[in-house]
Structure 1
Amino acid sequence: MYCFALKKEENGWLFSADCLVGEQKEHYASFESFPVPAEDAAGFLQIISEDGEIKKLYKHRNPIRFFHISDVPARSLGMTFCDGSTMEKDAELGDRALDYLYVLADRYYKDAESSAETPPDTATS
């Protein structure tokens, strides 16, 4: 079971994940809105562009701001556009794109979970 979101904000990209992580997929990670470098977002966008995933969802819209990918209870792939409109489709994301999201989750889950555990008043101290 998994759920991923990649969102572009004014100050950069935010990544959320709920999935199994680790070398043996032994840990279930759940974190929201963790900042990731633009290069990581660009890698995902390149994969879905090359694999034609974007064309599956829209044709003539403003640039994408938010992706949401989940598998349970129904596999779905959705995007929210700059104008606030959304589009969601019952679809399975390609293996390359899904593998990339798992790589990002593995890369950031420890930092994301530890930053979520840090009380706000001590986070900047």
Structure 2
Amino acid sequence: MASRISAADITFSSGVPICAPAPAAPVDIDLVLHRVRQMLDGCGSANRNDLLVIAITALIEEGVNTGPRIIEAAATLGFSRGHAGSVLSKSTGDSPARHKWRRGIDGVYATLVFL
């Protein structure tokens, strides 16, 4: 008799398991925005692209990890929505040499892990 498998046993060729996403923990957006603002204020760069990449990365890691929420949070931080959407899109993918984060099939962004 064949053994049964579950959806958690199925993987893509990348080795990433296919399973239901964990429920998102509630995010205190005001606290997240305060921390990101402090971090950006501490950056010595005036390059808006670099600052936006830093902000988006921090937002994703803090749980603000869907496109609309990231773009809205970036706008609240003083970036234009169009600029945020462009940087988010252009830096999304699975190649660590070219991308900063990836987007899951559920629309949730995650930063790429560099080993």
**TM-score bin (small chain):** under 0.3
Instruction: Point out the structure with max Rg over C-alpha.
Output: 2
Relative to the length of structure 2, the TM-score reads 0.26
Relative to the length of structure 1, the TM-score reads 0.24
- The one of the two structures with greater contact order (alpha-carbon pairs below 8 A, sep at least 6) is 1
Which structure: greater strand fraction?
Answer: 1
Which structure: greater helix fraction?
Answer: 2
